[in-house]
Amino acid sequence: MIQHLPPRAVLFDLDGTLVDSLPTIGAAMATALKEFGYDIDVATIIPQIGAPMPILAAVLTGASEDESERINERYLSLYYDEFIATTKTFDGATALLNRLRGAGVSLGVVTNKNEHGAHMMVEIQGWKSTFDVVVGRDTTARPKPWPDGTLHGLKVLGATPDQSALVGDTEFDMGAGRDAGLRYNLGIIGARDEARLRAAGATHVLNALPEVGDLLLDGRLTTATQA
């Protein structure tokens, strides 16, 4: 019997993957948009979350680049002052991270939050010593779906793409993992459905975080499906 070899490194998205932050992000953005005269509800905003927020603002409103940047600045102020501290983790998130660490896997974050916000979220959740690298959208020249941040994270961890996995919940995550050439590109169903994740490059689609450990550490797909 061939022994299953776990990956050397696993990179995680934050929002919608490890932390249930989409409702709070959506609420902060809805508040910012309203101040600029755009009445857009949270339910409309949430399915668009994943791109850098100035782009999201432009998509939602058709605003100019300058106004979208100003909306983003107000969003950031609201989010970091009022909303981020209330963010909850998804069930099984901390247990999964501890399981992977216990198996000797190096862990990192690659997010489209700015680096400051990413570190803040990691600290709020008590994960400061869990991750060996935190990559934000401003850490490298280009954010997800470009692979720059993913490759940077792997370089810091001393791992190659064929030894590594990325876990995320949007097409931006899957695109980054696909173009970085990762061995495992795991999509978690939630903000996006299976078809959208697969179209963006998911190698496997899973229903919940505990399945990530089953697949990567034990080679068991459980309810996961493989491309």
C-alpha 110: how far from its chain's center? 6
What letter does residue 163 receive in the DSSP assignment? G
85 burial (CB, 10 Å; 0-12 / 13-18 / 19+) is exposed
Domain boundaries, the chain: 9-20+88-226, 22-86
pLDDT at residue 225, rounded to an integer: 61
Q: What is the CATH number of domain 22-86?
A: 1.10.150
Q: Are 134 and 109 in contact (CB under 8 A)?
A: yes
pLDDT at residue 223, rounded to an integer: 47
pLDDT at residue 226, rounded to an integer: 61
Supply the residues annotated as catalytic: 13
For the chain, 227 residues long, give each residue's pLDDT as a single digit of tens: 455 789 999 999 999 999 999 899 999 999 999 999 999 999 999 988 878 889 999 999 999 999 999 999 999 999 999 999 999 999 999 999 999 999 999 999 999 999 999 999 999 999 999 999 999 999 999 999 999 999 999 999 999 999 999 999 999 999 999 999 999 999 999 989 999 999 999 999 999 999 999 999 988 764 456 65
pLDDT at residue 121, rounded to an integer: 96
* Topology of domain 9-20+88-226, CATH: Rossmann fold (3.40.50)
pLDDT at residue 33, rounded to an integer: 97
Q: 157: closest CA among 145, 165, 168, 147?
A: 165
Kindly list the distances between the CA atom of residue 204 and the CA atoms of 66, 82, 139, 211, in Å, as whole numbers in the listed order. 39, 36, 27, 11
pLDDT at residue 1, rounded to an integer: 40
